[in-house]
Amino acid sequence: MGRAALSWSRQDLATAADLGVATVVRFESGQQVSADSVTAMRSAMEAKRVKFVDKGTLAGAVVGGLRPA
């Protein structure tokens, strides 16, 4: 959802997070990836103003990413 908010391809996310595209594909398909990889992807999107909701009724939602950082 965060990647979609930015209109990023898998390659865009992989590049921004300094990961391989295969890691992004594994993560998005629900396979296990390292916690460091998840943190890198999240940080890359947060740097572009994507906000992740961690708690409450909107947990799992993504907001932002519509304006340049």
41-68: pLDDT as tens digits: 999 999 998 888 888 887 776 776 555 5
Q: What is the pTM of this model?
A: 0.83
Any idea where the domains of the chain sit in the sequence? Answer: 2-64
Tens digit of pLDDT for each residue in 9-25?
999 999 999 999 999 99
The CATH fold assigned to 2-64 is 434 Repressor (Amino-terminal Domain) (1.10.260)
Integer CA distances (angstroms), 15 to 6, 7, 20, 58, in order: 14, 14, 8, 29
Contact 19, 37 (CB under 8 A): yes
